Amino acid sequence: MRRRRSTTERQHYETDSGEDSETETMRCISCQEDYDAREGGTCKECYDEANETEEDLKREIDDLKAKVAFLRFWAPFDSPHSPYYAAKFHPPCYSDVVLVASGDSSGTGPFPPVPAHKAVLASRSPVFRAMLENEMQESRSGTIKISDVSYEALRAFVNYLYTAEASVDEPMAYALLVLAEKYQVKHLKTYCEKFLVSILNWDNSIGSYAFAHQHNAKLVVEAAMSLITDNMDKLTKREEYLELKEKDPRLIVEIYEASLCKQVNTAASKDSSQKT
Amino acid sequence: MRRRRSTTERQHYETDSGEDSETETMRCISCQEDYDAREGGTCKECYDEANETEEDLKREIDDLKAKVAFLRFWAPFDSPHSPYYAAKFHPPCYSDVVLVASGDSSGTGPFPPVPAHKAVLASRSPVFRAMLENEMQESRSGTIKISDVSYEALRAFVNYLYTAEASVDEPMAYALLVLAEKYQVKHLKTYCEKFLVSILNWDNSIGSYAFAHQHNAKLVVEAAMSLITDNMDKLTKREEYLELKEKDPRLIVEIYEASLCKQVNTAASKDSSQKT
């Protein structure tokens, strides 16, 4: 019985009922802490198996990271994600098309055109592909005008097409989501949606909800809606509420409908739990 | 004591010593099987934690896979890895350079040049980058001759530069490893080395060892060497042994040295284990 003594030990304790009883503590082979034998964990086999699974998953992650690093492109201009950024070394980029931000309202322009490759644009965006394949004016001239976008957003957009990376704040995430939607770059759209959901709070919830609705960003719509319907009591006090009611009352109606639906469901579930 | 009864139960059993004793079985919350309480597993907290970790890792894997899919390029020619392969649809690829397999010994040529993009070649291979940046003849002519390579291997090589994928058998893995080494495409070299290690067996071990030595494929050298030194008794009977002894005796010497070193270490470890 040596092994038993090494992993468990008997002790006496008082139960709530005050009856004198006996329990057993076991040593967890993961955290090495003792635990009450009644708090059943896993057997040794399952523990070992779980460890192996974790190792396999970590190996797969390393392989995928290496693949991403290999497939990632240096953007054909100076960018924090370019391996040439630090060295400030710019290899010839063999660019065959340029993108121009038309309608940068910052007033600090004119801005240099952003060099790119037709092959990259066409492989990342079905819209660019159609534009270039159909020998439209853009393809002939080698210049693609991107309207209603800041130069910074355009650079970040093109950079994402090459590297699948972007460092965004809230305004940049909005700008990139608009471009991702317009040029059907799904991967970037999801990236922006996840970011906007991650920074969602009561103060930006109505604005995010209205924006996401306009640009068909379902992830953000759902997250914002659930946050808003959790705070209905504070809703009508907000300025954004009054503005949205003016601008697009249908969106306000949707909020009330969602909230009503939530109340009904909660009541129903309460009801059924009382019956059981 | 309800919870205790639900997770554990007492039973009597005979120990080897024949003494009548009491043990406790616990229900594993992972596989739901009973296990001997003496076979200590993990506590519930560690089990839950391990589960969460696994979920996080799986999410990370999904994100990375999506990134790879986004960054992957369609190769500018028909390839099983191209999304256009099935549809047999070939978009214009805006190619600005072609690679030509010079010295395909299959005799079934001449073969069409393989279209590519300077930007892709330069971003995947420092050798191509230097070749193209230094305005060498290749850059001016827009034609890069790849010598001593089959047309099929060249296509697979270029395709890998675009997709980070290849479907290889043993000869193709050898051919691609040679190209990866020549053009310093590390990711492809590792891919080929891992494949060759995975199909390593006694029959191909000496051949793999010699090849890997020649092309500086350390993973394969180590794996083959350890397999060979485990079978020294059969070594001298093999034809490849005699051929290699003729062709490059130094490699044979390295095998004997490694084997000797192994014997010494084994003896030493045996010795120390006897002492303790």
ipTM of predicted complex: 0.77
Asked if pLDDT for residue B110 goes beyond 80, the answer is no
Asked if pLDDT for residue A7 goes beyond 90, the answer is no
The secondary structure of residue B227, as a DSSP letter, is H
pLDDT, average across residues A199-213: 95
pTM (two decimals)? 0.79
Q: Which residues of chain A does B194 touch, with a Cβ-Cβ cutoff of 8 Å?
A: none
Asked if pLDDT for residue A13 goes beyond 60, the answer is no
Q: Which residues of chain B does A81 touch, with a Cβ-Cβ cutoff of 8 Å?
A: none
Partner residue opposite B54 with nearest CB, options A54, A67, A117: A54
| CA–CA dist A198, A192 (Å, integer) | 10
Q: Pick left, alpha or beta for residue B138 (phi over 0 → left; psi -120 to 50 → alpha; otherwise beta).
A: alpha
Q: Are strands B114-116 and B97-102 parallel, antiparallel or unpaired?
A: antiparallel
Partner residue opposite A37 with nearest CB, options B24, B31, B96: B24
pLDDT of residue B210: 96
> Which amino acid is it at A198?
S
pLDDT of residue B73: 82
**Contact at 8 Å (CB) between B85 and A131?**
no
Mutate to test the interface with B, among A44, A71, A138 (most CBs of B within 10 A): A71
pLDDT, average across residues B120-148: 85
Q: What share of chain A is helix, strand, coil (3-state, %, to 5)?
A: 55, 10, 30
**Contact at 8 Å (CB) between B213 and B198?**
no
pLDDT band at B194 (very low <50, low <70, confident <90, very high): very high
pLDDT of residue A98: 92
In order of A202, A241, A243, the CA distances from A247 in angstroms are 20, 10, 6
Mean residue pLDDT across chain B: 82
User: To which residue do tokens 């193709």 refer?
Assistant: B172
Of B219, B124, B116, whose CA–CA distance to B180 is shortest?
B124
User: To which residue do tokens 């719509």 refer?
Assistant: A221
| CA–CA dist A215, A208 (Å, integer) | 10
Nearest-neighbour CA in chain A from B275: distance (Å): 25
Asked if pLDDT for residue A3 goes beyond 70, the answer is no
Do B74 and A39 lie within an 8 Å CB cutoff? no
The CB density around residue A259, as the number of other CB atoms within 10 Å, is: 17
Partner residue opposite A38 with nearest CB, options B3, B64, B76: B3
What does residue A12 show for φ and ψ, rounded to 5 degrees? -105, 145
**Contact at 8 Å (CB) between B110 and B102?**
no
Nearest-neighbour CA in chain B from A225: distance (Å): 24
Q: Where are the domains of chain A?
A: 39-71
User: To which residue do tokens 């954004």 refer?
Assistant: A240
Burial letters B8-19, b for 16+ CB under 10 A, else e: beeeeeeeeeee
Asked if pLDDT for residue B50 goes beyond 90, the answer is no
The CB density around residue A59, as the number of other CB atoms within 10 Å, is: 10
Query: A115: which 2 tokens?
Result: 């060099």
CA dihedral (B105, B106, B112, B113) in degrees, to 10, reads -40
Q: Which residues of chain A does B62 touch, with a Cβ-Cβ cutoff of 8 Å?
A: none
Which residue in chain B has the smallest CA separation from A18? B1
pLDDT band at B106 (very low <50, low <70, confident <90, very high): low
Query: A10: which 2 tokens?
Result: 């008997």
In order of A56, A75, A100, B237, the CA distances from B229 in angstroms are 29, 48, 64, 14
pLDDT of residue B37: 67
